Structure 1
């Protein structure tokens, strides 16, 4: 709803400042909802104190091989943050000075070393003891689910950020019209994501994930062929179809998480 309504709100104001008013209105609505949630939401008595968070807690693994996989899996996470800092320091955006770049990269490296050390230390202590068979699992399951979620949800965010501009430049649409049409890619989120989890409960979860992932790949291949000669109705049809598979794949990914252990 927000993706569709923000371009409409921005269209009531001059083009160069319309997006500012739309973002401000969105922030005000979020603040109001936050107050409502704070007033009316209640803690689960007797259970909320059991949810502990802190730097000393890590994902538990059950073998030394999985500890190595977990440490390796941290590299792309912190590498992505380092890449963002690098791109903001003159490659291509010059938003960070050279000294700020060095400080941030050093901080990211320190966080990685700290997280890696805590991961190895906390898990080695537990692995040295006897791990029951019902608690054993393979860490590669988490890696596979993370990659599927990156495909389903991460690529959706990438498309939403680029699709309206592509429509504007390719089909010579106004900014507001391109924004509203571009939001069609996320329109199926409300239905497709819970539907993906529901289908995953009816069918084998592995097959469901493969089916939705394959459908998403086919959808992206077709979308890569879009050009100015396409009618808008066919473009929207392809966008709806690809989005449906992506959102359903996200829901199916959520449905598979409890089965890891």
Structure 2
């Protein structure tokens, strides 16, 4: 079985490399064919060259690392706030029926509003400061945190709950010692979704209401008709997003393995 899993993993990696290589080949052929002007579709080599250049040279007020750092700081603020509010609130809603009845109608009405729709309010309330992007990231990251914590609390083992009630366990300990441990796998899965939505929301926010960050750098690249700068920014966004997802995936696998829920 172990050998089979290794074979499957290696097979997946090979197929992924084939797909990526095919994408680069098509991109290179299109850029060299002249069908699309290089101004609008530069070659992969030109984009990589620009990416390396931006790592060491300032553009729109900072290097690529500086802009990514500013973006990650905003992301940490918005995502962290979503976690701090969404997970406890979801657990409390899963335990207290009255709170569930009060919050759910408002939450269901608001959670379908796209995070980017909050941009005008963020610009009016916070201008180009850090508050606007944090607000928009929070709008994207908050719903998955709450929903998965709530769902995890609802699927807690009823036998444990009944036994704790018979022993007279107070609500606070019921939530922290029964609901929270039961909901951890669901919460971690929700964090992956939340982080992805939050990171996407951040870039959208920075395109409009920021004076630093990777989104701002891309807007300045567009204004200078520098397609390579825009695409280098996209590569940076993809790399950071991938790193965030890989870290959360490893955390999820470790927790599931510890609980005996994964091989």
The TM-score with structure 2 as length reference comes to: 0.29
The TM-score with structure 1 as length reference comes to: 0.29
